[in-house]
Amino acid sequence: MGERITISTPDGGFSAYVARPEAETAPAVVVIQEIFGVNQVMRDITDGLAAQGYLAICPDLFWRIEPDIDITDKSKVEWDKAFALFNAFDVDLGVKDIQATITRIRADAQSNDKVGCVGFCLGGRLAFLAATRTDVDAAVGYYGVGIEGVVGEAEKLTRPLMLHIAEEDGFVPPTAQAIIKQALKDHPNVEIHSYPGRDHAFARAGGEHYHEGDARLAGGRTLQFFERTIG
């Protein structure tokens, strides 16, 4: 069972869910939410990383709009609210809040000073931007929405980045995927994995497009990546 902490910024404080490993010190991983807030799916991912030996933290990045969002993908009302939050979200401020989270967890008594991040959907784009704009040590993005629009920032990318791309992603069309792959294919710090036949959120347990086999494959690749980069 995790704990709640408050992260302070010049604009105010926001909450984050923290799950701790058994080790006295460990590398940390920031879990970057989807558009449904810090919900059970995100908390389960955070708990799962702690079980793998990481100090895991999932910050509430929607706090500037409405704090403590915790909804699912199971009803139209919740989807409508999620998209409203997505449209109101300020990406630049979100990245600053991720940096505040990185700084806070790096200073934790249980941290060994290494910090990675992993993001999903909106969080996938934020993970890419964290790799270019923050001092995170390594980043992973799952089916990031909108990366094609910020891919020019790859020139600032000096830290390891892994991207998981769903080839049938309804929110990241083939043209967008082509832009991302073309821009990053020769970058020495980028590793891209593409999943044929998979739709958006194929790794969201319980989701409409969840695929257990490829979710496990992507999850294993992510853990191996973190072991190499921050483990």
Residues designated catalytic = 169, 200
Q: In whole angstroms, what is the distance from residue 78 CA to residue 144 CA?
A: 20
Q: Are 201 and 207 in contact (CB under 8 A)?
A: yes
Q: Token pair for residue 24? A: 């006295």
CB-side exposure of 131: number of CA atoms within 13 Å? 30
Q: In whole angstroms, what is the distance from residue 144 CA to residue 137 CA?
A: 19
Which phi and psi angles does 144 have, rounded to 5°?
-70, 130
Using DSSP's 3-state secondary structure scheme, residue 162 falls into strand
The neighbouring-strand residues paired with 18 are: 3, 57
Q: Which residue has the tokens 């997505």?
A: 86
Count CB neighbours of 98 within 10 A: 25
Q: In whole angstroms, what is the distance from residue 60 CA to residue 84 CA?
A: 16
